């Protein structure tokens, strides 16, 4: 176990994110205290900043069994503004960790989940300075390295995506629009790596109808506090929305249709997801109610892995569900894949992508496995040891090559903590099949009204302040049902009823 000692709580997130990226296989214990480190035989990384100005500090390595030797790097900032000092400190931490370990990270010191939002801002700034398009790109690439140590490859990818997103988002940037997210927190079973709000539907069958009625109530209230304004997109996610039986799925879609003008939507997604929950009847119901985009998610095409991660479906189920979705007339089908699943080698990943390519989906989302604290995977690793020897970089390259061979472009990207290889999740799509909601939520250009268990609504203020306010809902179904009125009131307050 590696101990990360920090002398100030406010520094915790950045340091923690960086150290776990450099030491992904080590358990990390965080201790917040100010003390001189005496001789010790345990492995300690100690990050300390001076109390007031925080413009001086150090990063010290004390080696036990894991670290390679004792070392201390000194920090002194030349900046005056606290925000600039903080940036310098973060870069110092990255450079020190990089020098000590002899490794670099693809995204450098960038630990945020939305690199393309940052890059979009940098591109706009460089464009405003009046330089040529070529110079804009090279300026941003240089800044990404100088300020964050982002590798050339990742800078190129980020710039490509941010440029495409900017053109897709143009109509939304100045509009005070919003999208509607509806959360269905039920699944056929819980996957090993899951950290979402998702409960086995069989155990909740007696509460499903009350839950749908609560969603209906929330949607009716939303009509009032959004002054009858129609959303641009609707996204039904979860969980697995198609874990609802056919009657309940139809009821949900009827409720949505009663509150939203489906014909005016720019996109209507139901993230079907789990192939074991998809039936011809449910596909017919979704088509009838105007759903334009669905997902059939394999995650892997390796049978043993599907069993190991608790998906309770086979590769034949994936083939069947995808074929039935095409037969039902869906011409915008996404497939999610995960890189870095337990025991998978590079050739497993390559085989899976080759099989997925044969389906000719309209988009593919390649996720790098992120091991979350709330997942059973954390326990699994504790019992079974390191997950995989997968070369995450080469696996992501395969995802890129597969998407390119199908004529897809990368169109959105986000990162999470503890991702395999410190990489990213990338969405690839054919032209015109980009998941609009995905871009809108990632780049935060419009508000999201989110209803249901474990969801987070977001108000993006359009007054030039850049202010974004959030409001979450209970993660427990019973609590959500009993406290519905209070949650609706909070959303009314967030979106400014009557303004």
For position 190 contacting ligand SF4 by CB under 6 A, the verdict is yes
| Choices 58-66, 85-93, 183-191, 209-217; region in contact with ligand SF4 by CB under 6 A | 183-191
For position 194 contacting ligand SF4 by CB under 6 A, the verdict is yes
For position 274 contacting ligand SF4 by CB under 6 A, the verdict is yes
For position 273 contacting ligand SF4 by CB under 6 A, the verdict is yes
Q: What is the distance between the alpha carbons of residues 140 and 123, in angstroms, rounded to a whole number?
A: 6
For position 182 contacting ligand SF4 by CB under 6 A, the verdict is no
Q: Shortest approach of ligand SF4 to residue 268 CB, angstroms? A: 20
- The CA–CA distances, whole Å, from 251 to 237, 246, 264, 416 equal 16, 9, 21, 34
Q: Which two tokens stand for residue 489?
A: 């009131």
For position 239 contacting ligand SF4 by CB under 6 A, the verdict is yes
Q: Which two tokens stand for residue 430?
A: 């054919």
Backbone angles phi, psi at 412, to 5 degrees: -155, 160
Question: Which of 151, 45, 141, 140 shows the shortest CA–CA distance to 93?
Answer: 45
For position 318 contacting ligand SF4 by CB under 6 A, the verdict is no
CB 249 within 8 Å of CB 239: no
Of the candidate residues 15, 85, 144, 198, the single one contacting ligand SF4 (CB under 6 A) = 198
Q: Which residues pair with 46 in a beta bridge?
A: 5, 60
For position 196 contacting ligand SF4 by CB under 6 A, the verdict is yes
Q: Shortest approach of ligand SF4 to residue 194 CB, angstroms? A: 3
- The CA–CA distances, whole Å, from 355 to 142, 350, 359 equal 38, 9, 7
Of the candidate residues 67, 140, 191, 369, the single one contacting ligand SF4 (CB under 6 A) = 191
Q: Shortest approach of ligand SF4 to residue 374 CB, angstroms? A: 10
| Choices 18-26, 133-141, 193-201, 411-419; region in contact with ligand SF4 by CB under 6 A | 193-201
Q: What is the distance between the alpha carbons of residues 435 and 267, in angstroms, rounded to a whole number?
A: 8
For position 97 contacting ligand SF4 by CB under 6 A, the verdict is no
**Alpha-helix runs per DSSP H in 391-470:** 392-405, 436-443
| Choices 158-166, 186-194, 341-349, 408-416; region in contact with ligand SF4 by CB under 6 A | 186-194
Question: Which of 345, 448, 441 shows the shortest CA–CA distance to 391?
Answer: 345
- For ligand SF4, the closer of residues 172 and 199 by Cβ is 199
| Choices 45-53, 97-105, 169-177, 184-192; region in contact with ligand SF4 by CB under 6 A | 184-192
Q: Which two tokens stand for residue 447?
A: 């508000």
Q: Which residues bind ligand SF4 (CB under 6 A)?
A: 187, 190-191, 194, 196, 198, 238-240, 273-274
């Amino acid at each position: 176990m590696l101990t990360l000692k920090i002398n100030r709580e406010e520094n915790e997130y950045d340091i923690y994110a960086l150290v776990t990226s450099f030491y992904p296989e080590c358990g990390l214990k965080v201790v917040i205290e100010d003390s001189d480190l005496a001789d010790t035989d345990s492995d300690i990384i100690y990050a300390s900043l001076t109390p007031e100005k925080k413009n001086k500090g150090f990063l010290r390595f004390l080696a036990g069994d894991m670290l390679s030797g004792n070392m201390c790097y000194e920090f002194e900032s030349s900046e005056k503004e606290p925000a600039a000092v903080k940036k310098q400190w973060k870069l110092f931490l990255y450079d020190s960790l990089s020098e000590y370990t002899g490794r670099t990270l693809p995204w450098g010191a960038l630990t945020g989940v939305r690199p393309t939002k940052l890059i979009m801002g940098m591109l706009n700034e460089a464009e405003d300075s009046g330089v040529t398009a070529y110079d804009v790109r090279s300026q941003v690439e240089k800044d990404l390295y100088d300020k964050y140590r982002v590798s050339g490859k990742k800078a190129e990818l980020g710039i490509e995506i941010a440029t495409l997103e900017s053109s897709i988002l143009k109509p939304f940037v100045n509009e005070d629009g919003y999208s509607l997210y509806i959360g269905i927190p039920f699944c056929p079973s819980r996957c090993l790596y899951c950290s979402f709000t998702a409960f086995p539907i069989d155990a909740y069958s007696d509460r499903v109808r009350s839950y749908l009625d609560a969603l209906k109530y929330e949607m009716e209230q939303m009509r009032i506090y959004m002054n009858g304004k129609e959303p641009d997109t609707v996204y039904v996610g979860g969980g697995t929305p198609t874990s609802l039986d056919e009657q309940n799925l139809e009821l949900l879609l009827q409720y949505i249709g009663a509150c939203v003008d489906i014909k005016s939507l720019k996109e209507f997604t139901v993230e079907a997801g789990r192939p074991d929950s998809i039936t011809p009847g449910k596909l017919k119901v979704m088509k009838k109610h105007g759903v334009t985009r669905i997902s059939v998610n394999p995650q892997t095409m390796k049978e043993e892995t599907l069993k190991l991660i608790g998906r309770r479906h086979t590769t034949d189920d994936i083939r069947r569900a995808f074929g039935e979705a095409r037969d039902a007339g869906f011409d915008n089908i996404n497939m999610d894949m995960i890189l870095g699943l337990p025991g998978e080698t590079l050739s497993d990943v390559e085989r899976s992508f080759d099989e997925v390519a044969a389906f000719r989906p309209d988009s593919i989302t390649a996720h790098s496995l992120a091991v979350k604290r709330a997942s059973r995977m954390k326990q699994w690793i504790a019992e079974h040891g390191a997950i995989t020897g997968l070369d995450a970089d080469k696996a992501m390259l395969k995802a890129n090559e597969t998407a390119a061979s199908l004529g897809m472009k990368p169109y959105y990207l986000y990162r999470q903590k503890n991702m395999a290889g410190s990489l990213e999740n990338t969405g690839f799509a054919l032209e015109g099949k980009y998941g609009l909601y995905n871009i809108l939520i990632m780049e935060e250009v419009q508000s999201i009204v989110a209803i249901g268990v474990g969801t987070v609504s977001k108000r993006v203020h359009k007054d030039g302040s850049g202010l974004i306010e959030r409001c979450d809902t209970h993660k427990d179904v019973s609590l959500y049902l009993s406290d519905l009125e209070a949650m609706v009131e909070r959303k009314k307050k967030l979106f400014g009823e009557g303004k």
